[in-house]
Amino acid sequence: LQIFLGALAFSFFAKGFSGSYMKSMSSQIERRFEISSSIVGIIDGSFEIGNLMVMVLVSYLGPRVHRPKVIAVGCLIMSLGTFLSVMPQFLMGRYNYERITVTVDNSSTSVSACSPTSSESHPVTDATETPRAMKNFGCEKTTKSYLWLFVLMGNLLRGIGEAPVMPLGVSYIDDFSKEENSAFYIGLVRSAGMFGPTLGFLLGSFCASLWVDIGLVDIDTISINPKDTRWVGAWWLGLLICGAVSFTASLPFWVLPYSLPKEGENENLKISHLPVQGDHCKIDSPAQPQLKFSEAVKDFFPALKKLFGNPVFLVYIFLTILQYNSIVGLITYETKFMEQQFNVSVARAIFLIGVILLPITILGMFLGGFLIKKFKLHVTDMAKFACITFIVAYLLNLLYFTCSCEVLQVAGLTVPYSGFKHLSTPKNSFMAHCNADCSCKLDQWDPVCGNNGITYMTACFAGCKSSTGMGKNMVFHNCSCVEAQGHELGNSSAVLGQCQRESCTKAFPYFLALQTACAFILALGGTPTYMIMFRSVSPDLKSFAVGIETLGGRVLGGLPAPIYFGALIDETCLKWGTKNCGGSGSCRVYDTKAFR
């Protein structure tokens, strides 16, 4: 039993580890495959679909199968799914982020982004011509744009593999441990599993700060940093580790027996003397006689009717569905939100969630359970307690509206090119008189920050005529649009990357504190609410009630939430990236107010 407990705790750890790692990598995957947030939501939901496909079957067949072996197979399927998700990295070739091609003057030290129309007679040096040749070159590779389906399939397999771990593991402990110990053991296993998500997020944070093609590309030649919305971290590296961990988790289960002598019995008998057949008979006698299928179905509908005839249980199910929706939606897009609102790199956002939010949540859950035990709370007391925590959390949530942050100022997108009337057509509101003769390409995004604090979509839109330096340190000079905004001539330069929003970076610690408080209070009310369900249904329906609750929460919460949250977030996008062959990629700039 000790070996089984250790193995189960490690498999709980493994599933939490890879699950949270996948969650933390959602924005990296979105950019690597150039897909929208709603597709990321579908990839995320595929895990739930896989889980639900086999969950009911596994729970029903539970005692009739060789449980340790089924768990072992589950862990193997999990690791297989994780390795399948990594495949695209080796099929896709290198990641080429969007950037403008700059023309080189004869002097070869100065590079110009804005090429006046007169230079169209030399097509080689014209900034608008070069990408077209590149486009066709890049296009042969993008037949691979559906490679995200590998990640989706891998996630589906992970869901299938994870399904048996919890129900079979918990029932195995319950069958072969002393009654007074089983709750304690199950608590131990679950709390050991809680370290998984924390480490998963930490690994995610580390991988997100490494460049995606690490080892293949000289890092110094990359002109963007992890705060850039085109940055893609080494998302595949952590998946290899997660796969290895899941594989390791499956190993001890292969050697465990079909059944164990119940704890505390047979302590005088040496286990080696037990005849093998006797061992099998032992489990068969206490186990319920196997029901015929027709009888099981006959029992099913009255049980369902009895559960849904219970008003407390009904209210509880509605509550669960609503909470699943808000929490899953929040967790899935939290890192993206922090990045867009507060100018934090995704790697740092993931790190903070792993180090601050998760441990606080775990603490809240433990404390909730402790309070019930300490004050011997009755059902009505637990309901009152939960109700108070939810109301407080709701009121705290209203404070999010004060965590405001100005929208990124992008010339022609969120602020006008001041001092200039826009050219008539709305499509060309990016064009102004100061860059009208630059022949810029409209669909590019390689932002530069003018020294007036305004971001321009490319150096070309800023009207920059010359530049110094290479790679990340490139500085553009003589930018006519920056000049036009009240800077005296000659002082108008721009650097690569979006402008930093100072006030947002200042507001971030407050946001984090608020988030931590909300997470703690919600977690505090989580345990009592869960207990209300147990106390309000009749004992013979407990496991069925848990099944219905999980099913409802997942089908109506865990599955749709990432998809519709993603679609709504896509609505607030101001500028979409472009793929090599045209067509929109992932979002580059959001309207932060609408997003919030």
Neighbours of 582 (CB within 10 A): 11
pLDDT in the model for residue 417: 77
Q: Does the pLDDT at position 124 exceed 50?
A: no
At 255, is the pLDDT very low, low, confident or very high (cuts 50, 70, 90)? very high
- How far is the C-alpha of 562 from the C-alpha of 329, rounded, in Å? 5
Name the token pair of 97: 């982020």
Report the range of poorest mean pLDDT among 111-115, 458-462, 518-522. 111-115
Q: Amino acid identity, residue 251?
A: L
Residue ranges covered by each domain of the chain: 1-115+144-261, 299-404+505-557, 433-500
* Nearest CA-CA partner of 18 in 212, 178, 186, 193: 193
pLDDT in the model for residue 571: 94
- How far is the C-alpha of 23 from the C-alpha of 40, rounded, in Å? 10
Q: Does the pLDDT at position 269 exceed 80?
A: no
* Nearest CA-CA partner of 368 in 349, 378, 382, 355: 382
Q: Does the pLDDT at position 288 exceed 60?
A: no
- How far is the C-alpha of 405 from the C-alpha of 268, rounded, in Å? 70
- How far is the C-alpha of 288 from the C-alpha of 63, rounded, in Å? 9
**Cβ atoms of residues 39 and 219 within 8 Å:** no
Residue with tokens 């490679």: 147
> Using CB atoms within 10 A of its CB, is residue 318 exposed (0-12), middle (13-18) or buried (19+)?
exposed
pTM, rounded to two decimals: 0.78
Report helix, strand or coil for 585: strand
Q: Does the pLDDT at position 284 exceed 70?
A: no
Residue with tokens 């289960």: 253
pLDDT in tens, 523-569: 898 888 888 887 888 877 877 787 788 888 888 988 999 999 999 99
pLDDT in the model for residue 118: 38
* Number of residues that this document lists for the chain: 596
- How far is the C-alpha of 164 from the C-alpha of 70, rounded, in Å? 7
pLDDT in tens, 126-155: 333 334 444 444 554 555 568 899 999 999
- How far is the C-alpha of 126 from the C-alpha of 133, rounded, in Å? 12
At 484, is the pLDDT very low, low, confident or very high (cuts 50, 70, 90)? low
Report helix, strand or coil for 494: strand
pLDDT in the model for residue 292: 60
At 108, is the pLDDT very low, low, confident or very high (cuts 50, 70, 90)? very low
- How far is the C-alpha of 215 from the C-alpha of 194, rounded, in Å? 33
Question: Mean pLDDT score of the chain, rounded to an integer?
Answer: 81
pLDDT in the model for residue 102: 60
Task: Give kind and range of the element (H or E) at residue 450.
Answer: strand 448-450
- Domain 1-115+144-261 sits in CATH at 1.20.1250.20
Within 13 Å of residue 22, how many CA atoms lie on the same side as its CB?
29
pLDDT in tens, 295-326: 666 777 888 888 899 999 999 999 999 999 99
pLDDT in the model for residue 551: 82
- How far is the C-alpha of 535 from the C-alpha of 466, rounded, in Å? 74
pLDDT in the model for residue 331: 87
Task: Give kind and range of the element (H or E) at residue 495.
Answer: strand 494-496
Report helix, strand or coil for 25: coil
pLDDT in tens, 398-439: 998 888 788 888 888 888 876 454 444 444 467 777 887 787
pLDDT in tens, 31-86: 898 888 999 999 999 998 998 888 877 777 766 788 899 999 999 999 999 999 99
Q: Amino acid identity, residue 504?
A: C
pLDDT in the model for residue 142: 52
Q: What are phi and psi of 43, to 5 degrees?
A: -60, -40
Report helix, strand or coil for 103: strand
